């Protein structure tokens, strides 16, 4: 391989909405670079003439027919899991995209 793969830890942490200390960034950044380096071995494999695939098995058309409604949860199943809820809705700090 020509270059050691590198991951921009600040960028990735921001995408994942993770707040990290500089020490964590240094540690995890190195570990992630190692992981990428490991996957980079795949680039050494000659895949000319191999068709790209989405899955290990060539299985298609796994679906549900008939459009028949199934069971639903009571709202409490959801609201019990949420830190805060009101009138059967989950409440979060105000977010406007």
Contact set with other proteins (CB under 8 A): 15-17, 54-55, 59-75, 77-79, 81, 86-97
In the complex, least distance from residue 42 CB atom to other proteins, rounded to whole angstroms: 15
Q: Judged by CB, which is closer to other proteins: 37, or 75?
A: 75
d(CA 22, CA 95): 27
Q: Judged by CB, which is closer to other proteins: 44, or 60?
A: 60
Q: Judged by CB, which is closer to other proteins: 26, or 82?
A: 82
In the complex, least distance from residue 19 CB atom to other proteins, rounded to whole angstroms: 13
Kindly state the helix (H) or strand (E) to which residue 86 belongs, with its residue range: strand 85-86
d(CA 3, CA 8): 15
d(CA 37, CA 6): 8
């Amino acid at each position: 391989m020509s270059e050691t793969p590198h991951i921009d830890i600040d960028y990735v942490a921001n995408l994942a909405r993770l707040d990290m200390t500089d020490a964590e960034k240094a540690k995890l950044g190195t570990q992630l670079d190692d992981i990428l380096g490991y996957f980079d071995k795949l680039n050494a494999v000659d895949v000319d003439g191999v068709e790209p695939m989405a899955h290990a098995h060539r299985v298609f058309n796994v679906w549900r027919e008939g459009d028949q409604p199934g069971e639903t949860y009571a709202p409490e199943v959801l609201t019990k899991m949420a830190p805060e809820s009101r009138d059967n809705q989950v409440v979060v700090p105000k977010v406007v995209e």
